[in-house]
Structure 1
Amino acid sequence: MTAAQAMAAATARLRAAGVPDPARDARLLLAHAAQVDAARVTLIAPEDIAPEIAERYDALISLRAVRVPVSHLVGERSFYGRRFKVSSDVLDPRPETETLIEAALAEPFASVLDIGTGSGCILVTLLAERTSAVGTGTDLSEAACLQASANAVLHGVAPRAEVIQSDWFGTVRGHYDLIVSNPPYLASEEMDHVAPELRDHEPRMALTDEADGLTAYRVLAAMGPAHLEPGGRLICEIGWTQAADVVEIFHRAGWEQVICLPDLDGRDRVICARTPPQTA
């Protein structure tokens, strides 16, 4: 069997399993099995596939057919031009979160606190883009803290990044110019309707608060000012239907300049807010 024939068979198998974009996934997984760059798959397509590669490929396709995410199978995911190591212990970095990165980079900051850091993609990206800044990432999950620390080492920002296990702001000390967060924002009843890749293979506590999906924003709005410099910023990702509710939460807590920014698909995605200048 040639690589092209193997890909065709894999694509058909994934399509039958209901996998979105099966041809893309079949190509990426063949590249991983053959240990070549995905861009080179077309070059090996006419060649016979080696037995050991065919065996690895079949195993990968079997797992993808039961909706294990491609990122978990290859062990990494791209985010803001960098490759981040991921696993089932952390939420996958996603393109819509890059809107948060752009908002954070729109103004200077010397220190950043990332609440619920997960893979560390937000914290590490911001420190990589702002080479003089320092930052702290927190997560309730010890496994996530280890993953974030590994990504900080991978991208050369570990000397400027502290990752600590914490329940929200519980063990956070000091003040920061910027707080960022991509918290769990799915309501409990929404979990039955999300894709199997999320529901079955990503950490549930990174997806839902097991309530109305707004718990995180109440905590961020109430506790954030105590950890921000006067006039500091807080930027958080939201579900695309939550803008009005989250803006109201921050307004009621006394935040200023509360705005919502859309992602590249035009959906409400990021809330930006600022503490009053006199807030300590």
Structure 2
Amino acid sequence: MNFLGITGMQYSGVPFSAHRIILAEDTNVFTQLVSTRLMDMLGVQVTICRNFEELQEAYDAADGPIDLAISNINLPGAENGEALEYLIDLSVPTIVFTSTFHEATREKLIAKDVVDYIIKDNVFAVDMLTESVCRFLTNSRHHVLIVDDSPTARALLSSRLKRYNFRVSLAESGAKALQLLKDNPDIGLVVTDYNMPDIDGFELTRRIRTMRGSHELRVIGVSSSTNRLLSARFLKAGGNDFMLRPFIDEEFYCRVNQNLDTLVQIRMAKIGRAA
């Protein structure tokens, strides 16, 4: 399977071998599959913990911060979710890999700000997990600008993106956003509200397009309005995507990924033509 995140890794030339990843899982089949796949695809070695005691020992023995944990909800010695609570309390970014899942479980995981959850219900689950790990490790190479005049909205979007390991800048106005774009040419994605007092989202998008094309910078418009024509107006102004609030976390992350994947593909094609 060709992961766009891995393509991004190859583009940047930065290896994963130095990253510390813990795999908290007691099923031998999955520990073997996951550890082998992460080594083969990403070149990263994982520390396997088959029970809660081993997880605690692995964390205490680590000679640096844990970059990412992959954890089942339940482990021997932590049959009621204590392992996940332990990792969250330690602020270790965590991907949940579980076969026990229903709507109530999803709500609890989202509330705990886990990075992602993967359900072990099909033969592609390990592939999906590998892609999720790759995305998390490469997201720090992407710089995202959030533009919104509401402090609450900025904080909410920022916390979501930082949970996924993106670098984030904030602007409370269109004018501030334009200045940040001039000062930070590495910004690859702008998430902008429509309704702002100085420059609305449409005009901001138009001005952005005079500075940088869609092949260099992606723009996602957002709004709480019920006006369904807003999406068409954003796209006509030069935007690449549009979302209505309130967001579903999984959809928001997917839209962000899709737009950044497009940038990676464009860069890779450019490098290929130059070679």
- TM-score, length basis structure 2: 0.29
